[in-house]
Amino acid sequence: MTKKVGVSLFNGIGVGFQALKELGIKLDTLISSEINQDSIDVNQHHFPDTIQIGDITKVDLKNLKQTVGKVYIVMGGSPCTNFSFAGKRNGMTTITHEKIVTLERYLELKKEGFQFNGQSYLFWEFVLAVKILKPKYFLLENVKMTKEWETVITNELGVLPVFINSDLVSGQNRERLYWTNVPNVSQPKDRGIKFSELIGGKSCAYRGVKFKGNDHYTIVHQYSKKDKGNCLVTGGTTNMAERSNGSIEYLTPTEFEILQTLPLGYTNVKDICDTKRKEMIGNSWTLEVIKHIFKNLV
């Protein structure tokens, strides 16, 4: 029987592996590219046999292909900062502002030692992995972005993205694009999950400070328009809840896990502090969304 090899780039805490596991899809070999040690620790806690290959920009993919043979799936959520509407939206560029719109140009620039702006250019490493490893299936996740960059990604991967908001299957508003050749992926049904029932109270976010003169200031909170949590962000420094007693508090790591539909305590590994736990969860995937996509593999 052919062994199933799963490769997860920018793997984080291994949510893709967890989704396949919960669906009963067994991978014989797990390969992860990740550079954050806390995320590696969480992944290894749940999937101790995972082969960690480190920084994807330094991996010899042709050698990896020869070593592992046929690959079942390559998945990943490449860094989104330069795509996000909350960021600069300059997409995949060099520090001299050259736009990188083909794999060939990326490889030329990489070979010549050019510096890249941010990390969103790492999308091209995902493309390279798909081209060399030739998996049966692939999945790429990223944020909503300008049509210019969405089109670049779509043309390169050869499939249209599926837009899914995590609020359909969770208590969190999280709009994402998913490019995949997994067949028959559609919108999940709305499960009607409410933040107030999951977490208690109202979801709100710290959005800044309004200064009044030189003596005092007012903290500004923005409440979610629906009974959903605001999109979890790295570190969770803006994710808050107004509790039933009227106090406004930061969400806990456990509440982050609930909103990302992760098993409770999933990131409670090796005494990792709350801030780092929330950072990892904020950077990860909504488990139930990934399960919805992968259910068509069963």
Per-residue pLDDT tens over the stretch 135-168: 999 999 998 888 988 999 999 999 999 999 999 9
Specify the residue for token string 């140009």. 105
Residue 59's nearest CA partner among 13, 114, 122 is: 122
CATH fold group of domain 5-190+286-297: Rossmann fold (3.40.50)
Q: What percent of the chain has pLDDT over 90?
A: 74
Q: Which tokens in the block code for residue 134?
A: 């030739």
CB 251 within 8 A of CB 236: yes
Cα separation, 103 vs 64, in Å, equals 20
Residue 274 CB: number of other CB atoms within 10 A? Answer: 16
Helix (H) or strand (E) holding 283: helix 274-283
Residue 116, strand partner residues: 94
Instruction: For residue 235, name the pLDDT band (cuts at 50, 70, 90).
Output: low
Using the predicted structure, report yes or no on whether residue 83 has a pLDDT greater than 90: no
Supply the pTM of this predicted model.
Answer: 0.92
Query: Where does the chain hold its CATH 3.40.50.150 domain(s)?
Result: 5-190+286-297
Q: How are beta strands 5-9 and 248-250 bridged, if at all?
A: unpaired
Assign residue 287 a region (left: φ > 0; alpha: ψ between -120 and 50; beta: otherwise).
alpha
